[in-house]
Structure 1
Amino acid sequence: MSKDSETKSRATSSRAEDVAAELEMEILRAGLPAGSRLGLRTDLISRFEVSPGVMNEALRLLRDRELINVKPGPSGGVFTADQPPGVRLGALDLWFQGLTIPPLEIFESRTLLEEMFNNLALQKSTPDDHDEIERGLQMLTASANDPRRFFEANVEFHRAIARSTGVTVLIGIYDSLVTVLLGALVRAAWASGYEETVDHNVRVHGQILEAIRNKDRKRLEIATRLHRVDMISLAQPEKSPVTRIGSRSAAKDDSAAG
């Protein structure tokens, strides 16, 4: 292959990846059901102002990711496939594949375990544990511009709190949950205007650490409430696990009152 052909091939591939990424985000963000028509291939070529070769490569990438189906014929075109299930944590959007349990249910269990570990860490953690949790907080701060790394750092922060409790059986369950989530994560992205939400989220994690370090139960209760609020997506609260936990708690209270 000549140098010019090689350069052209790389440019085509790069542009195709850009188009595929834009369409992928559009499909996932819009929550389009399977079978939604995105248009004819020619429509997409005109829309993105690319060559047929670039569009063919973009569509191949999306087929490989199992996000679209391409059907021939007069009533054909480009259609959405089944989407990977997603979760919204504040300004963070996460999508997963290959899970046998809905990710929201896994996140609910994770959240409940984390809040229990926070309270146990208040009693059991040592200064060495606090240093380990601090390292998780530093990772969180350093990852604010990378959504996947931010989620991974969030896991490490809470994992350090879990380990500080010494409750090995529950720590094992927690490790299993987060290992499954990290292994099934196929995409992470920020919602628009995420910066302020992320800054606040990092500060709240810092407040959780300081409450544990100072064995300040009242401060931990406040930080835990703030942490729950931070996890709720304003755009799609029904995709945030804490709203489901809250609604179940409210139903339980209503039942008890009746």
Structure 2
Amino acid sequence: MASDLMGDGAVSRTERAAQRIAELVREIEPGTRLGTKTELRELCGVSVGTFNEALRVAQARGLVAVRPGPGGGLFAAAQSPTVRLGNSILSIDDDASSIADAIRVRDALDPLLITDAAWYSSPADVAGYRTQIAAMADAVGALDADAFMHANWRLHELFAAVNPSPILKPMYLTLVEMIKSHTVAVLPVDEQPIAEVMTERYRIHAALVDAIADRDGDTLQDLIRRHSVKTTTTRTRA
């Protein structure tokens, strides 16, 4: 898939702290107390703001539960098979081959994700998609590859958000998160100028959203085929 155009150069302090929390959770039984927020923050060695964001990430991944009051604190959460699957993906070594495999699997899931979006998207969902399409258009006009990439990622995350599948949705979002945290750049596979690549990708995504809004299955499948044509290559930090 020709997806994104520039990205974060390294895993953030927030992500490293979230990974440290995940390591602690894997070492203990569900329901075991990890400690207070202050104790865990000091163990992670980050600021209050960074830790609070890392804690939100850990909670979103189903890793920890917060219990207020006396005897409260942070506890290892019981994890469903789906949560364990997502966390196992996030724990994959961040070498180039692993990230490339994550991209390959994410790309393979795109047709199913986009097809489902045509059936499950409400008018409000479509309005959200169009907001990201507008952001992509602005990025093309400004030749801002970083903004284009993030709007592209966000659009696909919104497609996933409406998906009812308890398997597809978390798997896809986890793969996207993994890819985002390791992407340095996504470059054209040939000599085509990056501005042309951005313009082409914008037009395909805008047409995809129109077809989703119209539930035009034939047009959507043709656009999915065009969407899947590889015109960029991803460079990661691994």
TM-score tier after normalising by the smaller chain length: 0.5 to 0.7
Identity %: 19
Give the deviation of 1:156 after TM superposition.
Answer: 0.6
Q: Is the 8 A contact 2:129 2:158 kept in 1?
A: yes
Q: Which runs of 5+ in 1 are unaligned?
A: 1-87, 234-238, 241-258
Aligned to 2:156: 158
Match of 1:105 among 101, 107, 118: 101
Q: Is the 8 A contact 1:90 1:197 kept in 2?
A: no
Which letter does structure 1 place at the counterpart of 2:159? Answer: I
Asked which structure has the greater CA Rg, the reply is: 1
Counterpart CA distance in 1 for 2:216 and 2:175 is: 28
Q: Within the alignment, does 1:184 sit opposite 2:179 as a pair?
A: no
Higher relative contact order (CA 8 A, sep 6+): 2
Give the deviation of 1:203 after TM superposition.
Answer: 0.8
Match of 1:149 among 126, 131, 147: 147
Q: Give the aligned CA root-mean-square deviation in angstroms.
A: 2.8
Give secondary structure in 1 for the equivalent of 2:125: helix
Give the deviation of 1:157 after TM superposition.
Answer: 0.8
Q: Is the 8 A contact 1:91 1:197 kept in 2?
A: no
Counterpart CA distance in 2 for 1:197 and 1:178 is: 21
Q: Is the 8 A contact 2:2 2:201 kept in 1?
A: no
Give the deviation of 1:197 after TM superposition.
Answer: 2.3
TM-score computed with the length of structure 1 as normaliser: 0.50
Partner deviation per Cα, 1:120-166 (whole Å, 9 max, x = no partner): 11222111111111112122222232222222211111111111223
Give secondary structure in 2 for the equivalent of 1:102: helix
Q: Which runs of 5+ in 2 are unaligned?
A: 11-92
Partner deviation per Cα, 1:6-40 (whole Å, 9 max, x = no partner): xxxxxxxxxxxxxxxxxxxxxxxxxxxxxxxxxxx
Partner deviation per Cα, 1:82-134 (whole Å, 9 max, x = no partner): xxxxxx94894779777145322111111122211111112221111111111
Aligned to 1:124: 120
Aligned to 1:227: 227
Counterpart CA distance in 1 for 2:4 and 2:186 is: 11
Q: Is the 8 A contact 2:5 2:148 kept in 1?
A: no
| Aligned CA distance change for structure 1 residues 132 and 93 (closer, same or farther; 3 Å) | closer
Q: Is the 8 A contact 2:8 2:180 kept in 1?
A: no
TM-score computed with the length of structure 2 as normaliser: 0.54
